[in-house]
Structure formats: structure tokens, C-alpha cells
Amino acid sequence: MLAELTVKNVATIEEIRWSLRGGFTALTGETGAGKSILIDSVQMLLGEKTSKDIIRHGAEKASVEGVFTDIDTETENILSELGITPEEDKTLIIRRELTAEGRSVCRINGKAATLSSVKEIGRRVVNMHGQHENQLLLDEGNHLNFLDNYANTEIEKEKYLSCYRSLIEIKKKINKFNETLGEKQRRISYLNDAVSELSALNLKEGEEKELMSAKAEVANAEKINAAVSDGYTVLISGENSVCDRLYGIKSEISSLEKIKPSFKELAERLESLITEAKDIASELNAAEIGRSYMSIDALEDRLELIRRTKIKYNMLDADGLIKFKSDAESEIEELTNSEETAAALKDEYRKKLSELEDLAKALREKRKRLGAELDKRIIDELSYLDMNKVRFVTEISDLMRNGKRSYSDTGGDAVRFLISANVGEEPKPLAKIASGGEISRLMLAVKAVMADKIAIPTLIFDEIDTGVSGKTASKIGSKMKQISAHAQVICVTHLAQIAAKANNQYKITKTAENGRSYSNVNELTGEARVEELARIIGGETITEAAKATAKELMEN
């Protein structure tokens, strides 16, 4: 839940540190005192788009910080995925600053975070209800999501989505094979020419590097052969060669073994030197560049041919040409046998489509079953909220595209909510018949039935009392108190009937000092709370009758 909210330099707020408790909290105050500013601050904290115009005049930046307690395991997992270490006491601290230059800086548990990360986490800890969310309810494009949240179709949708993605991939392959015959023939002709040219080139893997190395050797053949010849002569073939001299030394040392036995080891070491000198001489002789090498001109011609071919086929190296030839041969075979392949793909598509239809059917059956349950629960909630004759219907129909049954990544269903608020009237789309007060109550009903389905710890209601009063307002207050058994509820209200039901009440006030406005939040208890309720009931002049009514509202 939201345990503390700190707001600095936002419009009329210089600094507010608001400590909150669980249960149902009401926020009241005169029009213009700053209630909407406080709500805007929460939206800024949760990553909503915010203009730098909210920064208090004369300040360099505005900031909002929220401390949330008892976050759930899934939120902790998301934090870990974002590289943010969850606190051991399950505390979450989100902070956002907005500078006068329009730069936004976000932090989660003290670590820099992106705005999208703040939004992702924010959606898990706070649900804001206001005019914007009413519009979401009126938009039929969101009704499927409302239903799926209630029906908890996550497992069914994951299975369906996996199948749907496979079907899309098969369809792409089919489309590829459905190219025109002329395009296929042109492609086959191009690939055949390429394979023919590359076959004639007869490249070997690593050949280009070998040719470049050979070119360097041939270019330096005279120098290499001179060095090889000199070395061979000195080591073994010339007069007084190294090997001849070593033989002589070894013979003299061996003759001394009887006089001094340790000379035997020296003689053996000399024998090893002779063997090593012979091996070196042999390798030098083999290293001589002779007629078996291609000429420098032939090497250069071969390398130039490889270079031009690389450019032609846009390859970085010669080995890329080898792979291109292999891929071209495979593609030729694929295109040549495209009719058989296309038939196999179409058969695969039919099987996958049948699987998709079965999964879509299972998804629809669950939506229908839970949709009927949702209808009943919403009707019960609306009846309690003085919409006694209301009919609410979750309509599920085939998803259509261009006059044909279709499927999307959410299934094969089109979902919309219909309502009839009057006896004898057929249910119609919400946007066509629902008034502002009805929409507010409908959204509250949705929140009430979703409260135990969606584990969002804090619900904030703004403008929930639009178009209602009297007994209905009292019931709205009671309903929010009921919801607060599952989540922390914070409500900005202008109605005493709602505020009186709250466990906690705070008042936002605005004062003026030295030509500047200052908004503050204070907790109301005892007589101060009674007087605030009386003010809401009767206006600025607080009468004893209004106070008596306020006490009665609180007691009931």
C-alpha cells in the first residue's frame, strides 16, 4: 500500500509529506485548494506524461516520492528483472523529478530507472480511477481486457497465442511460395547462373588466405631461397659443415668415456645436436620455393578473379561465396519443388488452424461462463448503488474481418458490454446511453467485483461522485469501504455521504502568504472532522444542524 507521499514544488504545493494508512481514506477540501494537484502528483509519480508547467514558480524542479509497503512477490520478481534489488522488508520507493528544462529523472529503490519501468511497476501498486478510466470503460476496444482480467484467462490465452504465432509463421511461408511463376523462374535463373559461375570458380575453404600467403612467398622467393641454401650448406653440405665438425667433436669426447665416464652423457647430447641439425637442414631444403609454385602472375590473376566475384555477390570474404553457393543450391531445390512444398505447408496450415479453433473455442467457453458470472455480480453491485432496474450484458460474438470470421492474437472473440438502465429498453452500448453518474457507478461496480481478482494494493478514486448525491452517494461510500477490505482505497470527494464512510479523512487547504499560495494536507479527527463534513453539507456557515447531520452520517 501507499504509506507515504512526498510532493515538492508542484504548483501551489511547496512541500507536503503525507503519511497514509490502510483501509478507506477520504480526501476533501474546497474547490481550488489543491486536490487535483495532489492527484496529478500521484500520476506524475506513476510515470504519466507531465508538463514542466506544473513546477512551482521560482523552483528549479518538482519532485514526487512514494513509499509503498508489502509489495507482492511478482512485483519483486519484476524489480529483479529490471536489475533493481527488492528491499528485504518489501518496501518500494519510487521517486520522480521534473526539471525546469523538461528533463525527467526516475529512481526505484534509489536506482536510476526508465519512465517505462516506473510505469510497469506503478501499474502493479496503484490503480487510478478518474475521468480517463471512465473513458477506457466506454471504449469497446478495452472490454475484452476487462473480461479476461475477471475471468483469469491467462493460461488459455498463452496456449492460444503460441498456436496463433505458429499459424502466422506458416502463413508467411505459404505467401512466399505463392509468388508468381515469372518471379520464381527469374529467381531460379539467377541462382542457376550464380551456382554455375561459382562452380567454375571452384573455391576451396580458406583458399583466399592461402593464395595471399603464397603470393607473399613467391614475391620473396629469391630472398627465401638464398637464405635456405646458405643454411643448408652451413649445416650439412658444405666443407667443414656444422654436422661434420659436431661428428669430430663427438668422436673425441666418446674416446674419453673410459677415462671419465661423465663424458658419455656429453657424447649423447652431441649426437642429439647432430640429429637436430640434420632435421633443420632437411626442413630448410623442403622450404625452398621451386617450380611447383604458381607464378606471381597466376596468383594475382586468381586473387583478382576472387575479388571481382566477391564484389558481384556482395560478400566480405571468399568463404562467404562458398556458403552463398550452398544456399543457392538449396533454394533452387526448394523453388523447383515449390508445388510439393506449398501443398505440405497448406496441410500443415489446416492442421494448425484446426488446433487454433479448438483453443479459441475453449477460450470462448471460459469467457462466456465467467462473463455470465460477471454480469450477475455487476448487476448486483449496480442494484445496491440504486440502479435497480439495470440490465448488464457481456456480449461475445465472432471476430469479423472483411465480412469473414477471423482470429487475432487474443482469440476469435469480439467482446462488448451492453447496458439498459430502464425497464423495457434493450441493452445498448455503454457510450450511447450511460450518463456520467451511471458510468461512475458502473466503474465502481467493476472495481468491486475485480477487487478480489486483481491484486493491486492501492486504489485511488477521483471524480467517482460525478452526477450522484444523497442515498446513492452514501452507498458509493459503503461500497468503497467494502473494497478497502481487499485494498487500500483513497478517494477524492466533494460529498459528505462518501467522506463520512472513510476510516481516515484528510483535508487539503490553501493559504496565501506574501503573495504566494501554499497547499497543505492535514488529518482530520474528532471535532475537526465533524466540522469539515458540516462544511461540505451546508457551506461556509457551519450550523449545529449541519454538525448533527455530519455526526449522524459518521455513525451510520
Domains of the chain: 1-130+456-524 (3.40.50.300), 184-336 (no CATH), 525-556 (no CATH)
Which of 17-31, 136-150, 290-304: highest mean pLDDT? 17-31
pLDDT at residue 292 in the model: 47
Q: Tell me the pTM.
A: 0.65
Q: Give the mean pLDDT of 419-448.
A: 82
Range 292-323 burial, b when 16+ CB lie within 10 A, else e:
eeeeeeebeebbeebeebbeeeebeebbebbe
When comparing pLDDT for 413 and 486, which is higher? 413
CA dihedral over 75, 136, 380, 503, signed as positive or negative = positive
111-113: strand order across its sheet: 13-19, 2-10, 61-68, 92-99, 104-108, 111-113
pLDDT at residue 193 in the model: 94
- Please report how the helices 221-232 and 263-286 are oriented relative to each other, as an axis angle in degrees rounded to 10: 150
Best CA proximity match to 289, nearest among 206, 212, 229, 204: 229
The x, y and z cell numbers of residue 228, run together, are: 635456405
416 contacts 395 by C-beta, under 8 angstroms: yes
| Confidence band of 491 (pLDDT split at 50, 70, 90) | very high
Pairing of strands 391-398, 488-492: unpaired
The SS3 of residue 223 is helix
DSSP type of residue 539:
-
**Residue labelled with grid coordinates 519483486:** 76
The SS3 of residue 106 is strand
**pLDDT exceeds cutoff 70 at 305:** yes
13 contacts 37 by C-beta, under 8 angstroms: yes
Q: Give the mean pLDDT of 341-360.
A: 92
Beta bridge partners of 519: 510
| Confidence band of 290 (pLDDT split at 50, 70, 90) | low
User: 161 exposed, middle or buried (CB, 10 Å; 0-12, 13-18, 19+)?
Assistant: middle
The x, y and z cell numbers of residue 262, run together, are: 661423465
Contacts of 196 (CB under 8 A, 6+ apart): none
**pLDDT exceeds cutoff 70 at 12:** yes
CA–CA distance, 123 with 141 (Å, rounded to integer): 19
What amino acid is encoded at 502 in this protein? Answer: A
Alpha-carbon distances of 183 from 23, 177, 186, 196, 314, rounded to whole Å: 69, 11, 5, 20, 22
DSSP type of residue 408:
B
What amino acid is encoded at 67 in this protein? Answer: V
Q: Give the mean pLDDT of 487-491.
A: 93
Q: Give the mean pLDDT of 194-200.
A: 94
Task: Kindly report the length of the chain.
Answer: 556
Range 183-208 burial, b when 16+ CB lie within 10 A, else e:
eeeeebeebeebbeebeebebeeebb
Portion of the chain with pLDDT greater than 70, in percent:
94
- Average pLDDT of the residues of the chain: 87
CA–CA distance, 393 with 282 (Å, rounded to integer): 97
Which of 130-144, 259-273, 344-358: highest mean pLDDT? 344-358
The x, y and z cell numbers of residue 191, run together, are: 541462382
- Minimum mean pLDDT among 23-37, 280-294, 390-404, 470-484: which range? 280-294
Range 55-94 burial, b when 16+ CB lie within 10 A, else e:
bbeeeebbbbbbbbbebeeebbebbeebebebeeeeebeb
Best CA proximity match to 281, nearest among 242, 338, 313: 242
pLDDT at residue 289 in the model: 59
pLDDT at residue 221 in the model: 63
CA dihedral over 29, 34, 36, 42, signed as positive or negative = negative
